[in-house]
């Protein structure tokens, strides 16, 4: 759209409402537009509009392009087309539309402000440097010398400039970069502010810009304002800037010491941990520090020395990242203890008394495993150690000696005060000095009594009289066994026993869930799994017994729990799923595997009701529905039917009862009813919680009765139930006597199925694939009804393109049926006249019915039949609403594509056929359509298919017509011509940039229409650039390829169909055919209804007409073109169902030739992406109900990125 094309109607469209338009008109007439800047060449308007209280100016930007008008205003209004935008457009329409020169700018009340605007900008060299940088100014002069700067518009408040330079950028990190021209915007503000100019440049992105482009724009304005030449200004700027720069450089040099510089460059250090022990006559101590060594010129490390925090920080860049982290933890542990610690103190830690110190040691152990060089004389074994209390026997001296060791793997270290230091707290660590290797071995101790172990270290090597050992063991063995492993002399060992471990789980409340402790029962003795020692106890005879635990079996039991939705939190276990689900499902599985569970009934927050639910149900019948009343009881607690339906429908296993416990809903209820039970009509505000089912939902009612404990049904329901119970299979019904011709076997089956629906008063959808004869099956049923005495007419609603097809089919197969065609300007406008015609069939179109609803709305028909019923796929459309209001005894829908884009279209059609079957619209949309299409819920897909399967019959050609040749579809790829590729690339970049800008400004949802417009433009270029630019004189790669293939096929004696969704492309082919004397037929949306039949018959019967050019939409319905055996799809369409309908014009019953289909796809273009979308969508078309990946509903940022690659 161009500026000159603007009309008042366009302004009304962009305004968010009539009310907004009215306010904008008031602003325009009140003179609120203070500045308006029109750029005719760039097709844009910028303006400043005064606010309501005259103290605020709002900036408005409006752009015109081939997609229409896009506008932006910085006012706080949350909508799109605000009153300020409307006012500016009205000002332009009335004041500028006459045509003004490029760059025209007007301030209200003054005629010419160009010179004054320039004069009003008080720009100085210091301003330019302050808003950019000295380096930016230096670079800006290069742009000015190369004449790359153009001031596009200038007002007393605003300036825009274009820089002849390309930049590569992306708006979002997930997008591929794109190329665009540099654009600069500068706004004047308050000169008392530090930065009085608002500077923007698209090279910077968001925020204030201080780049060379801004500097160049300001310099250009400075030159224009001061009427100076570039060379003299450049000399003035540059000499001053470079002098300042050199002065700063010398100042920096003066601040650097040469000696220090030499030392800093000469020295390189390594930093590491070092442990030390300090022994005095009274005690020993341990310390850990960070040390350094200087790397000498020889490459060898120098003498070690201590390190301060300050010194270490200076060399941080040279320290590996992971080692730097452990150094940081070490420094933190020092500063945590002493917050006033100086950074000049040496990094030495002497106290390890807190839990945080244990955590530090764990970090150091982890670091040690991957960085041995970080530890000078410290060794961290990867495993935990244990304490062993060993009593040795010295028979010569008749003494028993107590010896304490810390064991790690196969190594045993004797504990005494001089060689061991206990570190940390819970868990306890030890540092043992290995005198032989001069290393410190540091590891975590696995012990239950860390404080006692510290005290016992004083008593290592203590002696006891040998004759007192038995008494000592008897008195203290149990206590010592709780501290660590006990080793006794051979003759003093206690009795050992072995038993099988039996796992026990103890549950306790923990927040909103519970924790689990694992214990094991050995005979009658129980021990926690977390405890590492064997079980030691005195039996009834006061004899010490030691039970050796089966650690391997215990580990298997523990691992098995973790495999059952449980996680280890160190001190205890917790469920990883809903606690109630764990108590019901997991607990039962574990009990079956030998676990005992305690404490479940004592839980306060997760208590399960111990009663099975019992459903009481009462069913009473209305005209077309059943009323359902009842409740569910859990012991004495009762829950309404409505609440149970909600829980079951949402797959909820539990329902909260009034006493705080949870009632458990049986799995079989959920498996049988989940999802579909939600289709029942319910009133959430009904205190009694009853429900209602439609007649077609009798299977749901039966399912509820099956699980009920008590039930009561009325006589009418019993009769209907008995009728269903007698039904065994669809019966063969005699064909009408006056039927001309024969039905195929699958057509007879369809005819029998239609009788089944009629007998049970159900509506149904005959969804046979195109060409299988849906029309004749329906006509056969109507003829049967006439022959059995039915006088009431049936209403058949069809697309306009199928009117003559129905008339012909009646003449061919059921000529005894009287048909009245209610269509066209000559149709009857009086209902009484129509009924006088005594027609068996009233044939009308969707459009005519929409206009003549008053004629039909009060008449009850025998049948209402919708052909191509996808015409009511939108339940909110006027057509659908009119059809829902029709009255009839029976209903039938016919379509080869019950779903074109999404499963919600199915709901709309079944709302006509069997109201209530799929619940209300909002429920279906949120629960089924959303789950199926977005979440790909297979259970919902299966449930929906099961519900509709009795009411939908769909046969594929491959299933029912063995004599129909297989259609062979292949893809022909072509390359673009050089000029075509160049044009495509530039348009792709332009469209991508505009779309990204639109998404940024308006959000993704509001940008969808613009996205589709852009994609359509690219598809047109793929066909032929002349579709968007009639002046284009180059070639099209696709046209050349297709003409070669078509000419070859025609030369071999074949007939071809050429489909395109662009009428202009058909015109291109028409011109080529005329030049090459190829005779052809032509059909698009503009072809009159009366001419369609003649065009088709000419192609079918005239052997000289070898080609048929058809628009995809006009040729999608009602054509029979079996003479053709080659089909060319010029451009792929979003919806593969539309293409398949086009192909089926020739691939019909009666076709005796092989059909070859070629889809033309342009390489490296958006068409390849469309083909991928088609393949993802084809599954939906094939299966009637499936997950739809259609582009129209699911365009996302990733889709856009793929389409524009």
Write the DSSP assignment of 696-712 as a string of letters: GGHHHHHHHHHH-SEEE
Question: How many Å separate Cα 1172 from the centre of its chain?
Answer: 19
Cα–Cα distance measured from residue 113 to residue 124, given in angstroms and rounded to the nearest whole number: 21
Structure confidence at residue 1025 (pLDDT): 96
Cα–Cα distance measured from residue 696 to residue 1028, given in angstroms and rounded to the nearest whole number: 53
Sequence length of the chain is 1205
Cα–Cα distance measured from residue 1131 to residue 1116, given in angstroms and rounded to the nearest whole number: 15
Q: What is the DSSP letter of 295?
A: B
Six-digit token string for 857: 């709305």
**E strands, 4-43, in order:** 33-39
Report residue 96's pLDDT band, with 50, 70 and 90 as the boundaries.
Answer: confident
pLDDT top residue among 566 and 705: 566
Least confident residue range of 93-107, 760-774, 875-889: 93-107
pLDDT top residue among 1120 and 377: 377
Share of the chain above pLDDT 70, in %: 86
| 225-257: burial string, b at 16+ Cβ within 10 Å, e else | beeeeeeebbeebeeebeeeeeeeeeeeeeeee
Phi first, then psi: give them for residue 347, nearest 5 degrees.
-85, 85
**Do 429 and 422 form a contact (C-beta atoms < 8 A)?**
yes
**Do 516 and 506 form a contact (C-beta atoms < 8 A)?**
yes
Question: How many Å separate Cα 916 from the centre of its chain?
Answer: 31
Please give the C-alpha separations between residue 620 and each of 235, 251, 640, 694, in angstroms, as whole numbers.
99, 99, 18, 12
For residue 842, how many other CB atoms are within 10 A of its CB?
24
3-state helix, strand, coil in the chain (%, to 5): 40, 25, 35
Of 138, 126, 118, nearest in space to 194 by CA: 126
pLDDT at 842 over 90: yes
pLDDT at 1190 over 50: no
Report residue 687's pLDDT band, with 50, 70 and 90 as the boundaries.
Answer: low
Element (H, E) at 252: helix 230-254
**E strands, 295-337, in order:** 305-306
Least confident residue range of 89-93, 100-104, 978-982, 1046-1050: 100-104
Cα–Cα distance measured from residue 821 to residue 852, given in angstroms and rounded to the nearest whole number: 13
**Do 642 and 630 form a contact (C-beta atoms < 8 A)?**
no
Six-digit token string for 296: 């000498």
Pinpoint the alpha helices (H) of 885-961: 904-913, 921-923, 930-933, 938-948, 957-960
3-class secondary structure, 83: helix
For residue 413, how many other CB atoms are within 10 A of its CB?
19
* pLDDT (tens digit per residue) in 509-540: 887 788 999 999 999 899 988 777 788 887 87
Structure confidence at residue 189 (pLDDT): 66
**Do 61 and 72 form a contact (C-beta atoms < 8 A)?**
yes
3-class secondary structure, 669: helix
Six-digit token string for 932: 């199926």
Structure confidence at residue 1187 (pLDDT): 36
Average pLDDT, the chain: 81
Cα–Cα distance measured from residue 202 to residue 204, given in angstroms and rounded to the nearest whole number: 5
Please give the C-alpha separations between residue 356 and each of 25, 36, 332, 427, in angstroms, as whole numbers.
71, 68, 10, 10
Q: Which residue bears the tokens 């224009």?
A: 224
- Please report the sign of the dihedral spanned by the C-alpha atoms of residue 237, residue 243, residue 247, residue 253: positive
Share of the chain above pLDDT 90, in %: 21
For residue 749, how many other CB atoms are within 10 A of its CB?
17
3-class secondary structure, 824: coil
Q: How far apart are the first and last CA of the chain?
A: 27
Of 812, 637, 618, nearest in space to 710 by CA: 618
* pLDDT (tens digit per residue) in 162-173: 898 887 765 433
Please give the C-alpha separations between residue 546 and each of 130, 495, 875, in angstroms, as whole numbers.
85, 6, 79
Please give the C-alpha separations between residue 736 and each of 182, 655, 840, in angstroms, as whole numbers.
77, 57, 15
pLDDT at 29 over 80: yes
* β-strand partners of 154: 159
Least confident residue range of 179-193, 216-230, 1098-1112: 179-193
Sorted by where each starts, the structural domains of the chain and their CATH numbers stand as 3-112 (no CATH), 117-254 (no CATH), 262-379 (no CATH), 386-493 (no CATH), 496-602 (no CATH), 614-726 (no CATH), 765-960 (3.40.50.10810), 967-1203 (3.40.50.300)
Cα–Cα distance measured from residue 483 to residue 388, given in angstroms and rounded to the nearest whole number: 9
pLDDT at 174 over 50: no
Element (H, E) at 1009: helix 1008-1023
Strands 860-867 vs 887-894: parallel, antiparallel or unpaired? parallel
* β-strand partners of 160: 153, 185
pLDDT at 1191 over 50: no
Please give the C-alpha separations between residue 651 and each of 321, 525, 668, 677, 941, in angstroms, as whole numbers.
50, 43, 11, 11, 15
Structure confidence at residue 1202 (pLDDT): 63
- Radius of gyration, alpha carbons of the chain: 44
* pLDDT (tens digit per residue) in 581-627: 888 888 888 988 899 988 877 776 777 777 788 888 888 887 778 88
Structure confidence at residue 813 (pLDDT): 93
Structure confidence at residue 726 (pLDDT): 62
* pLDDT (tens digit per residue) in 284-317: 788 999 998 888 877 788 888 999 988 888 888 8
| Segment of 7-16, 494-503, 723-732, 1016-1025 carrying the highest mean pLDDT | 1016-1025
3-class secondary structure, 583: helix
pLDDT top residue among 939 and 892: 892
Q: Under 8 Å CB-to-CB from 1054, ≥6 apart: which residues?
A: 1106, 1124, 1125, 1126
**Do 217 and 153 form a contact (C-beta atoms < 8 A)?**
no
Report residue 22's pLDDT band, with 50, 70 and 90 as the boundaries.
Answer: very high
pLDDT at 339 over 70: no
**Do 924 and 905 form a contact (C-beta atoms < 8 A)?**
no
Q: Which residue bears the tokens 């977005």?
A: 934
Write the DSSP assignment of 1076-1128 as a string of letters: TT--EEEE-TTS-HHHHHHHHHHHHH-TT--EEEEETTTTSSS---TT--EEE
* β-strand partners of 617: 630, 711
Q: Under 8 Å CB-to-CB from 125, ≥6 apart: which residues?
A: 222, 236, 237, 240
Q: Mean pLDDT, to the nearest integer, of 973-983?
A: 88
Q: Which residue bears the tokens 């950074």?
A: 343
Q: Is residue 427 reached through a cis peptide bond, with omega within 30 degrees of 0 on the bond before it?
A: yes
pLDDT top residue among 772 and 1069: 1069
Cα–Cα distance measured from residue 480 to residue 474, given in angstroms and rounded to the nearest whole number: 11
Measure the CA dihedral 866/871/877/882, to 10°: -20
Q: Under 8 Å CB-to-CB from 982, ≥6 apart: which residues?
A: none
Cα–Cα distance measured from residue 1043 to residue 1051, given in angstroms and rounded to the nearest whole number: 12
Strands 544-547 vs 952-953: parallel, antiparallel or unpaired? unpaired
* pLDDT (tens digit per residue) in 1077-1090: 999 999 988 888 77
Element (H, E) at 649: helix 641-649
Cα–Cα distance measured from residue 24 to residue 6, given in angstroms and rounded to the nearest whole number: 16
**E strands, 556-613, in order:** 566-568, 573-575, 596-598
Report residue 105's pLDDT band, with 50, 70 and 90 as the boundaries.
Answer: very low
3-class secondary structure, 874: coil
Structure confidence at residue 107 (pLDDT): 46
pLDDT at 684 over 70: no
**Do 566 and 586 form a contact (C-beta atoms < 8 A)?**
yes
Element (H, E) at 24: helix 18-29
**Do 1099 and 1138 form a contact (C-beta atoms < 8 A)?**
no
């Amino acid at each position: 759209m161009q500026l000159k094309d603007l009309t008042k109607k366009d302004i009304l469209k962009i305004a968010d409402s009539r009310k907004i338009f009215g306010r904008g008109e008031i602003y325009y007439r009140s003179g609120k537009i203070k500045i308006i800047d029109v750029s005719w060449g760039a097709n844009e308007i910028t303006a400043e509009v005064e606010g309501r209280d005259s103290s605020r100016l709002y900036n408005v930007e409006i752009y015109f392009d081939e997609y229409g008008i896009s506008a932006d205003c910085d006012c706080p209004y949350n909508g799109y087309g605000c009153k300020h935008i409307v006012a500016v457009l009205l000002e332009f329409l009335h004041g500028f539309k006459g045509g003004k020169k490029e760059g025209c700018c007007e301030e209200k009340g003054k005629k010419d402000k160009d010179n004054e605007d320039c004069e009003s900008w008080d720009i100085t060299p210091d301003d330019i440097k302050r808003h950019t940088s000295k380096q930016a100014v230096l670079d800006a002069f290069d742009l000015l010398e190369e004449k790359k700067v153009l001031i596009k518009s200038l007002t007393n408040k605003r300036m825009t400039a274009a820089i002849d330079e390309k930049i590569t950028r992306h708006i979002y990190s997930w997008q591929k970069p794109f190329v665009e021209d540099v654009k600069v915007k500068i706004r004047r503000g308050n000169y008392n502010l530090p930065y009085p100019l608002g500077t923007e440049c698209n090279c910077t992105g968001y925020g204030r810009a201080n780049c060379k482009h801004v500097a160049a724009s300001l310099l250009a304005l400075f030159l224009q304002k001061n009427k100076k030449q570039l060379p003299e200004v450049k000399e003035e700027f540059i000499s001053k800037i470079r002098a300042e720069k050199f002065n700063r450089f010398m100042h920096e040099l003066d601040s650097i010491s040469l000696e220090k510089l030499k030392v800093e460059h000469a020295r390189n250090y390594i930093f590491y941990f070092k442990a030390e022990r300090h022994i005095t006559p009274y005690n020993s101590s341990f310390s850990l520090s960070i040390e350094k060594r200087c790397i000498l010129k020889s490459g060898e490390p120098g003498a070690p020395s201590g390190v301060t925090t300050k010194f270490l920080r200076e060399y941080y860049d040279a320290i590996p990242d992971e080692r730097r982290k452990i150094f940081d933890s070490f420094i933190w542990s020092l500063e945590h203890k002493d917050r006033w610690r100086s950074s000049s103190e040496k990094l030495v830690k002497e106290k390890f008394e807190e839990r945080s110190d244990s955590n530090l040691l764990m970090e150091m152990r982890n670091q040690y495993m991957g960085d041995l060089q970080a530890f000078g004389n410290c060794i961290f074994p990867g495993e935990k150690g244990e304490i062993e209390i060993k009593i040795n026997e010295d028979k010569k001296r008749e003494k028993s000696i107590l010896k304490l060791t810390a064991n790690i793997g196969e190594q045993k270290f004797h504990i005494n005060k001089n060689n061991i230091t206990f570190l940390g707290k819970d868990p306890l660590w030890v540092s043992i000095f290995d005198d032989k290797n001069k290393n410190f071995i540091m590891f975590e101790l696995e012990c239950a009594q860390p404080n006692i172990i510290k005290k016992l270290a004083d008593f290592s090597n203590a002696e006891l009289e040998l004759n007192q050992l038995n008494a000592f063991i008897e008195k203290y063995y149990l206590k010592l066994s709780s501290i660590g492993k006990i080793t006794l002399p051979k003759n003093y060992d206690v009795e050992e026993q072995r038993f099988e471990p039996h796992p026990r789980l103890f549950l306790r409340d923990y927040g909103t869930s519970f924790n689990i402790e694992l214990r094991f029962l050995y005979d009658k003795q129980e021990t926690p799994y977390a405890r590492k020692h064997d079980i030691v106890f005195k039996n009834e005879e006061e004899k010490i017994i030691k039970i050796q635990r089966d650690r391997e079996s215990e580990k298997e039991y523990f691992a098995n729990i973790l495999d059952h939705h449980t996680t280890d939190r160190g001190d205890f276990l917790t469920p990883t799923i809903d606690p109630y689900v764990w108590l019901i499902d997991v607990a039962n599985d574990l009990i079956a595997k030998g676990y005992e569970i305690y404490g479940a009934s004592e839980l306060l927050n997760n208590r399960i009701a111990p009663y099975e639910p019992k459903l009481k149900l009462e069913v009473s019948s209305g005209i077309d529905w059943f009323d359902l009343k009842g409740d569910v009881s859990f012991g004495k607690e009762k829950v309404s039917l409505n609440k149970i339906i909600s829980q079951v429908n949402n797959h909820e296993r539990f329902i909260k009862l009034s006493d705080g416990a949870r009632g458990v809903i049986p799995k079989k209820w959920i498996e049988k009813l989940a999802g579909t039970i939600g289709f029942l009509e319910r009133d959430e505000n009904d205190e009694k919680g009853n429900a209602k089912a439609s007649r077609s939902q009798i299977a749901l009612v039966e399912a509820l009765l099956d699980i009920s404990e008590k039930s009561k049904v009325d006589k009418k329901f019993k009769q209907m139930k008995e009728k269903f119970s007698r039904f065994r299979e669809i019966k063969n019904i005699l064909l009408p006597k006056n039927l001309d011709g024969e039905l195929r076997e699958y057509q007879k089956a369809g005819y029998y199925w239609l009788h089944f629906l009629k007998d049970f008063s159900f509506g149904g959808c005959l969804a046979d694939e195109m060409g299988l004869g849906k029309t004749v099956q329906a006509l056969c049923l109507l003829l049967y009804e006439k022959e059995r005495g039915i006088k009431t007419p049936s209403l058949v609603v069809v697309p306009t393109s199928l009117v003559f097809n129905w008339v012909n089919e009646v003449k061919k197969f059921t000529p005894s049926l009287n048909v009245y065609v209610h269509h066209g300007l000559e149709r009857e406008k009086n209902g009484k006249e129509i009924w006088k015609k005594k027609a068996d069939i009233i044939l009308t179109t969707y459009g005519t019915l929409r206009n003549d609803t008053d004629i039909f709305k009060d008449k009850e028909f025998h049948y209402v039949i919708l052909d191509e019923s996808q015409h009511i796929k939108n339940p909110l459309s006027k057509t659908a609403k009119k059809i829902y209001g029709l009255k009839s005894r029976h209903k039938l829908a016919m379509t080869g594509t019950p779903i074109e884009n999404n499963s919600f279209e199915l709901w709309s059609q079944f709302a006509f056929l069997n109201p209530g079957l799929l619940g209300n619209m909002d429920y279906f949309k949120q629960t089924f359509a959303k789950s199926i299409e977005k979440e790909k819920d297979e259970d919902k897909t299966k449930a929906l298919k099961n519900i509709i399967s009795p009411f939908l019959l769909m046969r594929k050609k491959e299933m029912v017509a063995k004599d129909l040749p297989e259609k062979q579809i292949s893809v022909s790829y072509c390359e673009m011509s050089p000029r075509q590729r160049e044009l495509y690339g530039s348009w792709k970049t332009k469209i991508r940039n505009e779309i990204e800008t639109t998404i940024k400004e308006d959000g993704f949802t509001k940008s969808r229409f613009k996205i589709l417009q852009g994609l359509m433009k690219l598809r047109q270029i793929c066909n032929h650039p002349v579709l968007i630019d009639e002046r284009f004189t180059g070639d099209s790669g696709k046209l050349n390829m297709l003409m070669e293939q078509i000419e070859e096929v025609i030369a071999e004696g074949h007939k071809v169909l050429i489909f395109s969704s662009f009428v202009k492309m058909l015109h291109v082919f028409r011109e080529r055919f005329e030049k090459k004397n190829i005779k052809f037929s032509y059909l698009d949306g503009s072809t009159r209804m009366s001419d369609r039949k003649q065009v088709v018959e000419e192609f079918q019967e005239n052997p000289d007409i070898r080609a048929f050019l058809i628009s995809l939409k006009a040729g999608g319905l009602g054509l029979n073109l079996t003479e053709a055996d080659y089909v060319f799809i010029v451009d792929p369409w979003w919806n593969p169902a539309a293409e398949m309908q086009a192909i089926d014009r020739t691939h019909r019953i009666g076709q005796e030739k092989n059909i070859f289909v070629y889809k033309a796809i342009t390489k490296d273009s958006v068409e390849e992406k469309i083909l991928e979308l088609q393949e993802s969508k084809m599954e939906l078309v094939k299966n009637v109900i499936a997950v739809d990946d259609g582009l129209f509903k699911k365009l996302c940022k990733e889709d856009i990125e793929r389409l524009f690659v």
